[in-house]
Structures are given as C-alpha cells and as structure tokens.
Chain A
Amino acid sequence: KAGVTQTPRYLIKTRGQQVTLSCSPISGHRSVSWYQQTPGQGLQFLFEYFSETQRNKGNFPGRFSGRQFSNSRSEMNVSTLELGDSALYLCASSLITNTGELFFGEGSRLTVL
C-alpha cells in the first residue's frame, strides 16, 4: 500500500515568489493535515481538511492557504514568500477522524533565498 506522497521533495524559491506543494494521501484516507517543521519552532499545525472542507486552521498568516480535492489529494500554497518560510512542510493523512493516528509523508523542503 503506497504511503503519503509529497511533491516536490525539494525546492528553492526567492522572496516574493509563491509556491504550491502537493500531497497525495494513502488510498482511502479522507483527512489531510499540514504541518510546518523548523528547527526553532518545531512542528506547527497549519490546517486540516476532511472531505474537501477545512476543519481546522493554525495560527499562520493568510499567505498560507490550502485546499482538498474530491479525490482527497491536497495542496497548500504560500504566497509572497519570506525568508522565514524556509522549512520542511509535512503532510499527514488519516483513515478515520478522532484518532490522532496520522501517517506522514517525507515532506517538502522549501528554501527561500
């Protein structure tokens, strides 16, 4: 069974650009969450989607947005990139909500120059 797939794995952008990251959850999983991981702040929750609806959102500026498609695949977008957006962005999926058992992808490492 394929795991959570994130693309691209690595990318380099410059300040002011925008970026779109993609996440394909495990087949049958309808809940997708996104986290930002940095050395200083650790893992911080960005947002969660279930059946194409955003169920929860973390404390990030409006430059961070996401969506989920009918096949449960999800994308997140960061506009007007800042140096501080450099991080590993992790996507996680789960089969049944209310369990806390998340299956993580390997992440997309974003470097902003």
Chain B
Amino acid sequence: GNSVTQMEGPVTLSEEAFLTINCTYTATGYPSLFWYVQYPGEGLQLLLKATKADDKGSNKGFEATYRKETTSFHLEKGSVQVSDSAVYFCALRTSQGGSEKLVFGKGTKLTVNP
C-alpha cells in the first residue's frame, strides 16, 4: 500500500540554521507529493507541492524536489526563523477515482530557538 516515512523528531535548531526534514514514500503509480505545516493550535496548511518527477515545490523559503529514483521529497530551508516552529507533515496522493485522500507521514516537530 501507499505510505510515507518521515524522519522522527523533534528537531531543534538555532535561528538561521539550515533545515532538512527527510521524507520517503512508497506508492503505486505516480503520486503527487506535498508538505503541510501545522502551527500550534491550528489546522494544517499546505506549504508546497510537486506533481511529477523532478518538480521542485517552493514557498516561504522552503523547497522540496520530487525524486522518483530515490522515492524522496525532502524539505529544506536555508535559514530558519523562530516563526518556523511547527509540525511538518509530508503527504502523498495517488489518483484513485478522483478521491482527495492523502496519506500522511507522522509529522516532524521543529523548534527554532532565537
């Protein structure tokens, strides 16, 4: 079946440090890949997405590249800020009769200290 594996957290960084959160997937067909972010006390928000191999999604300084050969979609940011503290979820969607079902990883909690 389809699944997503994320690096376990929590991850603690100092402000301006480089961030990488690893994400690998298992899927049949050609999934679309997503990163969602959940700030404390809020619902999830779409951060970025990629719909085909070699696509790079980017938003708010975050980037992730869809790597089919390694089945990965690692999230990166060159310089994190305190406001980036949140839980990050990697997710995939496969085309199954038009369903919007997403399969999520377990999430990685990021804390950025000033």
Contacts and interface: CB of A to CB of B under 8 A. Distances in A.
Nearest to B107: A42
A55 interface: yes
Main secondary structure of the interface of A (DSSP, over half): strand
Interface string B67-100: 0000000000000000000000101010111111
A86 B98 CA distance: 30
A70 interface: no
A104 interface: yes
Contacts of B107: 42-43
Contacts of B106: 42
A25 B80 CA distance: 32
Given A100-B32, A100-B34, A101-B49, A94 B100 contact: yes
A55 B100 CA distance: 9
Contact of A100 (B42, B49, B97): B49
Given A4-B43, A100-B32, A100-B49, A48 B89 contact: no
Interface residues of B, number: 26
B61 interface: no
Contacts of A106: 41-43
B19 interface: no
Interface string A14-42: 00000000000000000101010000001
B104 A43 contact: yes
Contact of B100 (A4, A33, A42, A104): A33
Given A43-B89, A92-B44, A104-B43, 8 more contacts: A33-B100, A42-B104, A42-B105, A43-B107, A48-B100, A56-B99, A56-B100, A102-B46
Interface of B: 32, 34, 36, 41-46, 49, 89, 91, 93, 95-107
The 9 A-B residue pairs whose C-beta atoms are closest, nearest first, are: A104-B43, A100-B93, A42-B106, A43-B104, A56-B99, A104-B44, A106-B43, A100-B32, A97-B98
Interface of A: 4, 31, 33, 35, 42-43, 45, 48, 50, 55-56, 58, 90, 92, 94, 97-107
